[in-house]
Amino acid sequence: MVFQEVLQLSAVGSGLHEITAGVADVVSRSEIARGTCLVFVQHTSASLLIQENADPSARADLETFFERLAPLGAAWYTHTTEGPDDMPAHLRAALTNTSELIPVVEGRLGLGTWQGIYLFEHRDRAPRRRVVVTISGDGR
């Protein structure tokens, strides 16, 4: 059995934005008890991460790390057509994931206690984002 839905995420600023609840809702509607949930972001300047969702300082440190790794306005960037955050956004997306695969256990996401699914927005003024959620497995 396969179930698929596209989440339309509102425009947000740069940073980690938790989408666990939205993905969990799709899993619940799928009526799949055991299987996998593939989450895929359809963009080249945003990515997905599974990270700690209890202490906000972990997210803040991750954001700071990527800001230092791929800073805005570096003199060596040539791909700057869409602004100073354009190339850093592509670099950050290249270093992270465009998809995450999560087990479905007893009809729910099989995440650990402190894990959450995050859209990692790399643009300052991003457009709406599309995240495809595909659940496959055995029905209830």
pLDDT of the residue at 3: 98
Cβ partners under 8 Å of residue 111, min gap 6: 20, 50, 102, 117
Q: What pTM does this model have?
A: 0.94
Q: pLDDT (tens digit, 0 to 9) for every residue of the chain, 140 residues total?
A: 999 999 999 878 999 999 999 999 999 999 999 999 999 999 999 999 999 999 999 999 999 999 999 999 899 999 998 999 999 999 999 999 999 999 999 999 999 999 999 999 999 988 899 999 999 999 87
pLDDT of the residue at 12: 84
pLDDT of the residue at 92: 97
How is the chain split into domains, by residue range?
2-139
Residue 25: enclosing H or E segment and its boundaries?
Answer: helix 20-30
State how far the Cα of 74 lies from the Cα of 80, in Å rounded to an integer: 10
pLDDT of the residue at 30: 97
pLDDT of the residue at 140: 74
Helix (H, G, I), strand (E, B) or coil at 137: strand
CATH topology assigned to domain 2-139 = Jelly Rolls (2.60.120)
State how far the Cα of 90 lies from the Cα of 92, in Å rounded to an integer: 6
